[in-house]
């Protein structure tokens, strides 16, 4: 190896180290922010119980039951984040192989269309070109399911569209909805339980506790990058968002 090639390799390795450092810091910061709110709320809830602010023993037991349910959901959030972290660092290997995109998106439609119908939303999947992509089938389906499922939960009316676009050696899986970028930027909101908190407040907290829209985008982006893909968010003229999942085609062409 000549000196110029060795220098190029050194610069590349240095740049990759810098990227990984930034990624670790950013991922940890987002994760800490995501978990701080529900953890703070659970602590506040237990403080209410310990301060004997419940009206009667039955309400105290109900508070404890709701706190347990919230803690169980929080554990599931942690598991979801930890799984993505393990995939990123290679502890959980991915099976990258050719996938027929049309079959994958058919599975996605079957898993989501009833939920959309129940909310009176129109879920439209465009005709998918006969292409094969390189990805981990189960984890890619998990990513797309997470994005479509979140869109259905957040959108109150209108149409949700999914189509594709082939360009160069990549295909973009495009999710179009009526949601704005601000909705996707939502993080966990800090909820404080103080004197005057009702049992209904506690139930609403435990029922609504889940990974925030912003964190779901971070998790999706992280998994796509491990599969040599990427995630892009764009706004159109009416300030509605397109979420594009970019993935490599097999041999860079249609099959």
Does position 32 have pLDDT exceeding 60, yes or no? yes
pLDDT at 22: 46
pLDDT at 149 over 60: yes
Structural tokens at position 165: 């676009």
Is residue 92 scored above 90 in pLDDT? no
Q: pTM here?
A: 0.71
Secondary structure element (H or E) that encloses residue 139, with its range: helix 137-154
Q: What is the pLDDT of residue 213?
A: 81
Cα distance between residue 209 and residue 69, in whole Å = 10
Quick count: other Cβ atoms within 10 Å of Cβ 21? 10
Find out if CATH 3.30.565.10 is the number for domain 3-252: yes
Split at pLDDT 50, 70, 90, the class of 54 is confident
User: Which pLDDT value is given to residue 21?
Assistant: 43
Q: How confident is the model at residue 117 (pLDDT cuts 50, 70, 90)?
A: very high
Cα–Cα distances (Å) from 247 to 38, 142, 175, 178, 225, in that order, read 34, 15, 14, 24, 9
């Amino acid at each position: 190896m000549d000196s110029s090639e060795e220098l190029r390799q050194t610069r590349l390795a240095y740049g990759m180290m810098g990227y990984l450092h930034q990624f670790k810091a950013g991922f940890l910061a987002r994760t800490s922010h995501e978990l701080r709110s529900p953890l703070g709320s659970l602590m506040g809830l237990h403080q209410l119980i310990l301060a004997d602010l419940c009206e009667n023993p039955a309400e105290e037991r109900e508070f404890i039951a709701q706190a347990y349910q919230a803690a169980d959901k929080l554990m599931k959030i942690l598991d979801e984040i930890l799984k993505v972290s393990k995939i990123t660092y290679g502890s959980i290997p991915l099976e990258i192989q050719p996938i027929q995109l049309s079959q994958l998106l058919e599975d996605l439609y079957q898993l989501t269309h009833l939920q959309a119908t129940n909310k009176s939303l129109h879920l439209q999947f465009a005709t998918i070109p006969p292409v094969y992509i390189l990805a981990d089938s189960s984890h890619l389906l998990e990513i797309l399911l997470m994005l479509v499922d979140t869109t259905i939960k957040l959108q109150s009316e209108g149409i949700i569209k999914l189509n594709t676009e082939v360009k160069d050696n990549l295909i973009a899986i495009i999710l179009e909805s009526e949601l704005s970028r601000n909705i996707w930027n939502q993080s966990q909101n800090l909820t404080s339980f103080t004197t005057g908190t009702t049992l209904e407040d506690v139930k609403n907290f435990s029922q609504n506790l889940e990974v925030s829209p912003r964190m779901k985008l971070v998790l999706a982006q992280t998994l796509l990058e491990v599969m040599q893909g990427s995630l892009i968010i764009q706004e159109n003229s009416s300030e509605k968002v397109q979420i594009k999942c970019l993935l490599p085609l097999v041999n860079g062409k249609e099959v």
